Amino acid sequence: MYSCSDLKKGLKLMIDGDPHVIVQFDFSKPGKGQALYRCKLRNMITGALFDRTYRSGESFAPASLDERDMQYLYQDETGYVFMDQKNYEQVVLAEETLGDDKYFLVDNMEVKILMYGDIGIGITLPNFVNLRVSQADPWVKGDTAAGNNKPAAVETGYTLQVPSFVEEGTLIQIDTRTGEYVTRVKE
Amino acid sequence: MEGNWQLARKRPMLEKRARIVQAIRAFFIARQFLEVETPQRIPANAPELHIDAIASGDWFLQTSPELCMKRLLAAGYEKLFQICRCWRDGERGNRHLPEYTMLEWYRAGTDYQLLLTDCEELLAALCAASQLKWQGQTIDLRRPWPRLKIAEAFARFSDTPLTEALKEGRFDEIISLQIEPQLPADRPVFLTEYPSQHAALARKKPGDPAVAERFELYIGKMELANAFSELTDPAEQRQRFSNEEQQRRVAGKPPYPSPEPFLKELASMPDAAGIALGIDRLVMLLCDAERIDQVVPFCPEDL
């Protein structure tokens, strides 16, 4: 069982018999008062979104769902297609199920797909992905201050803040959990 | 691998934070407050139902420097301040860190009225423009700041009357979910006159024992500071601690030892008032930061 202190974005739990995922989470607590755990939840089967607030002392059943190792194949009009590497079964995930994760998929990437029966309802990406910068302002010579940043776009269309020395064509590592720049990748 | 860039880009924020902390020190030193450092690892915190301490060996990390500060008051120190780390187990959110920085200051020989003025003057010293812009909202800091009694706040912003909220144990919930979101966004506001059962270390208002001389300062709807006229009656303080302990036990929480030296010396404490203000949140306001993570170099998840 989970307690309130386990609640965080991405946690999957059973509510009213259905698997749900926490898509937004905040902890609030008046200084001397009782803590409130405010969750935006998505029903992983119907896709319905709703808000719920929990108080310390409540407990939750983990959503016991199968996770299968799969490889990302391609995107087509049906959605994003993955293949189970053991039995070659294919599973399709809709764009809204992926959310921002769609920007971090690269061909042949090995991911975990969360299954509800035969239906794919969620994805866990590797923590880090390498993507090439497709658009960024050039590095202004002399701008060497550590911590300076600018926007950049990567090959999948995702935009993020990067250090000023990152230029078009640079391969960078991104943390898929936060969507933030980590480092340049040596090639 | 190059250096940690997410850390490097926090530099402008950390530089501003350092200047703010220096300015806070200068503010209190100029007013003849004595800066003290009391132990952060202590045998007993004040037992409070909703504040969980982190154990450190047989002792605990402090949840507030309050008890040691009051022992100093009891020994005759008149004006004290401290900037220190406090730890509260399980508190993590956009505005919470389980380890955070607290500013506490205390004045002997007075009640909490003077602390309201201290808050207004401190912000004036830190923010020369007498207004600040936080998350797109301009906040007018011109003094005096509005005061709002808790009973009025319930009447105005909640469909549940205060007495009912107290009876049903929904006081905190209504403050968080109904009242806080409706507080003025463009002005600081002091919420005052808390129900006495929600102020374990505060003095009751003379002539009205149902309310305690406690206030909370909100700026931009964010809770920033909590203040009391201090309770100085050791017998009543012992009784209230034992009530909190009792409620902790009912809630299935681990028992805490009683802070005996504090209770013994409380008898010598003069009338006094004290306040705790979250430095990280103050920096958020002054630096237009949305999340507490932005104003500290490391969060627990980064370690």
pLDDT (tens digit, 9 = 90+) per residue, A149-183? 899 999 999 999 999 889 999 999 999 998 999 99
Of B2, B11, B94, the CB nearest to A184: B2
Average pLDDT over residues B274-299: 97
Examine residue B116 and state whether it is found in any structural domain, yes or no.
yes
- Comparing alpha-carbon positions, the chain A residue that sits nearest to B14 is A147
- Comparing alpha-carbon positions, the chain B residue that sits nearest to A172 is B1
Of A57, A180, A182, the CB nearest to B251: A57
Neighboring chain B residues of A53 at a CB cutoff of 8 Å? 173, 177
Residue A1: Cβ-neighbour burial (10 angstroms; 0-12, 13-18, 19+): exposed
String of DSSP letters for chain B: ----HHHHTTHHHHHHHHHHHHHHHHHHHHTTPEE----SEES-PPPBTTBPPPEETTEEE-S-SHHHHHHHHHTT--EEEEEEEEE-TT--BTTB-SEEEEEEEEEET--THHHHHHHHHHHHHH-TTSEEEETTEEEE-PSSPPEEEHHHHHHHH-SS-HHHHHHTT-HHHHIIIIIGGGS-SSS-EEEEEEEGGG-TTBPEETTEEEEEEEEEEEETTEEEEEEEEBP--HHHHHHHHHHHHHHHHHTTPPP----HHHHHHGGGPPSEEEEEEEHHHHHHHHTT-SSGGGGSS--GGG-
Say how far apart CA B298 and CA A72 lie, in whole Å. Answer: 35
Q: Which residue has the tokens 């797109």?
A: B136
Residue A147 pLDDT grade (very low, low, confident, very high; cuts 50, 70, 90):
low
pLDDT of residue B176: 92
pLDDT of residue A125: 95
Q: Is B3 on the interface with A (CB under 8 A)?
A: yes
Neighboring chain A residues of B199 at a CB cutoff of 8 Å? 32
- Cβ–Cβ below 8 Å for A180 and B6: yes
Average model confidence (pLDDT) for chain B?
95
- Cβ–Cβ below 8 Å for A32 and B12: no
What size, in residues, is chain A?
187
Say how far apart CA B92 and CA B300 lie, in whole Å. Answer: 9
Q: Closest Cα of chain A to B105: distance in Å?
A: 17
Examine residue B33 and state whether it is found in any structural domain, yes or no.
yes
Here the CATH number for the domain that contains residue B111 is 3.30.930.10
pLDDT of residue A145: 64
Q: Is the pLDDT of residue A67 over 70?
A: yes
Q: Is the pLDDT of residue B206 over 60?
A: yes
Q: Is the pLDDT of residue B126 over 60?
A: yes
Q: Is A117 on the interface with B (CB under 8 A)?
A: no
Q: Which two tokens stand for residue B176?
A: 């968080």
Q: Is the pLDDT of residue A144 over 90?
A: no
Average pLDDT over residues B208-227: 96
Q: Which range marks the domain in which residue B108 is found?
A: 5-143+237-302
Q: How many other C-beta atoms can be found within 10 angstroms of the C-beta atom of residue B187? A: 15
Examine residue B35 and state whether it is found in any structural domain, yes or no.
yes
Phi, psi (rounded to 5 degrees) for B91 = -95, 100
pLDDT of residue B186: 97
Of B1, B95, B175, the CB nearest to A33: B175
Neighboring chain B residues of A55 at a CB cutoff of 8 Å? 173
Give the pairing of strands A90-93 and A49-55. Answer: unpaired
Phi, psi (rounded to 5 degrees) for A93 = -110, 135
Of B8, B171, B176, the CB nearest to A147: B8
pLDDT of residue A31: 73
Residue A91 pLDDT grade (very low, low, confident, very high; cuts 50, 70, 90):
very high
Average model confidence (pLDDT) for chain A?
90
pLDDT of residue B250: 93
Give yes or no for a contact between B40 and B59, defined as CB atoms under 8 angstroms apart: no
- Comparing alpha-carbon positions, the chain B residue that sits nearest to A187 is B1
pLDDT of residue A148: 77
pLDDT of residue A143: 66
- Cβ–Cβ below 8 Å for B48 and A32: yes
Q: Is A146 on the interface with B (CB under 8 A)?
A: yes
pLDDT of residue A57: 83
Q: Is A87 on the interface with B (CB under 8 A)?
A: no
Q: Is B216 on the interface with A (CB under 8 A)?
A: yes
pLDDT (tens digit, 9 = 90+) per residue, B144-172? 999 999 999 999 999 999 999 999 989 99
Q: State the amino acid at position B148 in one-letter form.
A: L
Average pLDDT over residues A74-88: 93
Examine residue B85 and state whether it is found in any structural domain, yes or no.
yes
- Cβ–Cβ below 8 Å for B93 and A27: yes
Examine residue B170 and state whether it is found in any structural domain, yes or no.
no
Q: Is B1 on the interface with A (CB under 8 A)?
A: yes
- Cβ–Cβ below 8 Å for A147 and B9: yes
Examine residue B69 and state whether it is found in any structural domain, yes or no.
yes
Examine residue B211 and state whether it is found in any structural domain, yes or no.
no
Count of the separate structural domains present in chain B: 1
pLDDT top residue among A18 and B36: B36
pLDDT (tens digit, 9 = 90+) per residue, B127-150? 999 999 999 999 999 999 999 999
Neighboring chain A residues of B98 at a CB cutoff of 8 Å? none
Q: Is B15 on the interface with A (CB under 8 A)?
A: no
What size, in residues, is chain B?
303
CA–CA distances in Å: residue A129 to residues A45, A73, A92, A180, B171: 28, 16, 21, 11, 46
pLDDT of residue A146: 62
Q: Is B221 on the interface with A (CB under 8 A)?
A: no
- Cβ–Cβ below 8 Å for B175 and A30: yes
Say how far apart CA A10 and CA B270 lie, in whole Å. Answer: 51
Q: Is A53 on the interface with B (CB under 8 A)?
A: yes
Give the pairing of strands B79-87 and B59-61. Answer: unpaired
Q: Is A32 on the interface with B (CB under 8 A)?
A: yes
What percent of chain A has a predicted confidence (pLDDT) above 70? 97
Q: Which residue has the tokens 């959310």?
A: A99
Of A27, A53, A146, the CB nearest to B8: A146
pLDDT of residue B200: 83
Of A27, A146, A163, the CB nearest to B91: A27
Tell me which of B66, B172, B228, B277 to substitute to probe the interface with A (most A C-beta atoms closer than 10 Å): B172
Examine residue B167 and state whether it is found in any structural domain, yes or no.
no
Interface pTM, i.e. ipTM? 0.84
pLDDT of residue A66: 86
Average pLDDT over residues B35-42: 98
